[in-house]
Amino acid sequence: MKIVIGQGSCGIASGAKKTEAEFKKHIQEKKINTTVTIAGCIGSCYLEPIVDVIDDEGCLSRYVHLTSDKVETVVNRHIIGKKPVTEYLIPENGTAFLEKQTRIALKNCGVINPENIHDYIDAGGYQAVRKALFEMDGDAICREIEKSGLRGRGGGGFPTGKKWVQVRSQQEPVKYIVCNGDEGDPGAFMDRSVMEGDPHKMLEGMIIAGIATGAQVGYIYVRAEYPLAVNRLQIAIAQAEEAGYLGENILGSRFCFTIRINLGAGAFVCGEGSALTASIEGLRGMPRVKPPRTVEQGLFGKPTVLNNVETFAHVSYIIVNGADEYRKIGPEKSPGTKAFALTGNVNNTGLIEVPMGTTLRTVIFDIGGGVKNGKTFKAVQIGGPSGGCLTAKHLDLSLDFDSLAKVGAMIGSGGLVVMDDSTCMVGIAKFFMNFTEHESCGKCVPCREGTHVMNEILDDIVNGRGSEDQIDMLIELADTITNTALCGLGKTAASPVVSTIKEFKEEYIAHVVDKRCPTGSCRGLKRIEIIADKCKGCSKCQTVCPVYAIHGQRKQPYHIDWSKCIKCGRCIDACPFNAIVEN
C-alpha cells in the first residue's frame, strides 16, 4: 500500500505537511508496512489537503480536505481495516473536475514525486531526450516542433518551431535557452505548479531545445516568491546531472548542456522578453527597442530561445508521439492543450488543462462547477492585466489565440478570474490599472504617465468625483498607450479598461451621472444616512463624528452633511437605535 500526499503550495498552505507528519507518526507507532510519499498539486486546489491511498492492486482512493485530525481515522479504518473512509472521499463533482480535462503539461502533477527523478523516468520521462539525441538531428527536431503547430503558452502565441528555427540558423556559436518562469499575472499559477509538481518535464523541454538549436547553456528565470518551485528545480537539476541528462557528454553523446537558475525580484515587466534577459544580465529589468529580436540578440547579446515553462512542458510529448498526434488535439491553428488557473467566484477553483478551442461554458460550468452561491455569471477576466473581459455572450466562444483576439481579449498566461453579478466592473478595471501603474518600469512615457492618469480617472469615478467626459478620456488615453508604448505589456495595459467600458458602459454611466455603484461595491459612492423615523435625537452620533458632519437638535432627527462625511462609520457604531445605515 502507498500513501501519496499532495504538496504543492496550495496543499502545504492547507496543512499537508502536518497531514504527512501525522501519517508517518501513526505508521511508525503501529509498525505498518506502507510507503508515505509526496506529489505536486493535482489541480483541485479547493479540495486540499488531498491524499491518495493506493492499494496493492493499484486501486486508488482519493481523500480530500484531509487535515491532520482525520488521519488516525483513515489509518485505522483504511490502512489497517482495508475499508475506505467514505465520508472523507472526493465528492462526485471533484471527480468531474479532473475527468473533463486533457493533460499534457500537467499530466504528472499530483501523480509523481517531483523530488524523485526515478518517478519521472518510470512515467516515461527523458525518453524524448534519448530520441532527440540518437534518432534525430537539430533540423528534424525543429521541423517536428514547427509541424506540431505549438505556439508559445506565455501569452503571445508565437509559433515555437519558427523561433527555434531562427535561433538554429544564426551563425553565432554561442546561443542560449531561457525559460520564463516569472509568471507575474495576478491569479495565475500554471507555471508554478509545473515547476513544483513536474520540474523534469520542463528541464527535458529545455534540453531538447538546446539539442535543436546548438545551445549549450540554459537559464531558468523564476521569481524569488516561488521558494518551493526554486527548491524543487534545484533538486531536479542536481538529479538530472547525476543521472547523466545534464552536463558534459549527455548520455554518452557529444552534446553538453547545463542549466542555471536566476531569481527575479517579482517585477511584472520582467515577464517581457528583453526585460527578462536584461535582469539575468544584472541590469535593471526594462524592455528595449526591437529589432534586433531576442532570436538574434537576446541574452548577453547572443541568439536566444525564450519560451515559458508550459511551452517547454509540451515538447517531450511532441517528440515522443509525433507532431501529427499532437495536432489531433485542439483546432488547426491553435493545436494542443492550454492550462488555466480558474479562480474567483466559481465553485471549483484550481488548475485545469483543456484542449485549445474548449468553450468558456465548459470551463466555468462543467469543470468549474458554476458560479458560487447560486449567483449569476457576469464576466470573466482572461489574460490578467494584459487581457480582457468576456461576458455571458462569449460563453460559447472557442478559447484559442485567434478567436480571443477577434473579441479584443487574449489567453495571456492563462488566468481566468470569474465574476458574479455582485462584482463592480469599474472596480475591476481600477484594480488592474492600479496594478499596471505600479508595475510599469517607467522607461517609456506612454506607459509611465498614461497608466497613472488612467488610474487617477478611475479613482475619481469609483469615489464619486467622475464626470461623463472622463469615460471618453479613458478611451482616448487607452488608444494612445496601446499605439505608442514600447513593449507588449505597455501596449496591452489598457485592455481591462477598454473591455469593461465596451461591455459594461452602463455601469460607468451610473458611477459618473447617478453617482451610484449598481452593485454597491464602491465605498466611495456609498452614503451614510440617518433614518428619521428611528432617530431619537440622542446626539451620540454627533458627539463621535470626527469631521462635524452631523447636525440637528436634541430629541429631533439629526441629518448628515454628505459634503463633509468621510464615511468612517463611527456614527453607525455609536447609534443605540440602529437608525444610521450605509447605502
Contacts of 282 (CB under 8 A, 6+ apart): none
Pick out the chain residues at pLDDT < 50: none
Spatial distance between the Cα atoms of 6 and 37, rounded to a whole number of angstroms? 9
CB 1 within 8 A of CB 54: yes
Beta strand 337-344 pairing with 350-355: antiparallel
Q: What is the pLDDT of residues 401-458, one digit of tens each?
A: 999 988 888 888 788 999 999 999 999 999 999 999 999 999 999 999 999 999 999 9
Spatial distance between the Cα atoms of 490 and 482, rounded to a whole number of angstroms? 7
Please, what CATH class does the domain formed by 2-90 belong to? alpha beta
Cis peptide before 291 (omega within 30 of 0): yes
Spatial distance between the Cα atoms of 239 and 256, rounded to a whole number of angstroms? 16
The three cell numbers of residue 195 are: 515547476
Element (H, E) at 262: strand 258-264
What is the dotted CATH code of the domain comprising 117-326? 3.40.50.11540
The three cell numbers of residue 163 are: 523561433
Spatial distance between the Cα atoms of 135 and 225, rounded to a whole number of angstroms? 40
CB 177 within 8 A of CB 214: no
Please, what CATH class does the domain formed by 425-514 belong to? mainly alpha
Q: For position 78, what pLDDT does the model report?
A: 96
The three cell numbers of residue 310 are: 508550459
Q: For position 383, what pLDDT does the model report?
A: 87
DSSP secondary structure letters along 153-203:
TTTT--BHHHHHHHHHT---S--EEEEEE---STT--HHHHHHHH-HHHHH
What is the dotted CATH code of the domain comprising 527-582? 3.30.70.20
Q: What is the DSSP letter of 75?
A: I
Q: For position 403, what pLDDT does the model report?
A: 92
Q: For position 95, what pLDDT does the model report?
A: 84
Element (H, E) at 375: none
Q: For position 445, what pLDDT does the model report?
A: 95
- H-assigned helices in 485-527: 488-491, 495-509
Q: For position 505, what pLDDT does the model report?
A: 97
CB 512 within 8 A of CB 488: no
Spatial distance between the Cα atoms of 36 and 52, rounded to a whole number of angstroms? 10
Region(s) of the chain under CATH 3.40.30.10: 2-90
Region(s) of the chain under CATH 3.30.70.20: 527-582
- H-assigned helices in 322-444: 323-326, 360-361, 401-406, 425-439
Please, what is the end-to-end C-alpha distance for the chain in angstroms? 59
CB 475 within 8 A of CB 494: no
Cell 489574460 appears where?
A: 383
The three cell numbers of residue 217 are: 547553456
Contacts of 481 (CB under 8 A, 6+ apart): 446, 447, 450, 451, 454, 490, 491, 493, 494
Q: For position 320, what pLDDT does the model report?
A: 98
Q: For position 155, what pLDDT does the model report?
A: 79
CATH of 337-420, one of 3.40.50.2300, 3.40.50.300, 3.10.20.600, 3.40.50.1980: 3.10.20.600
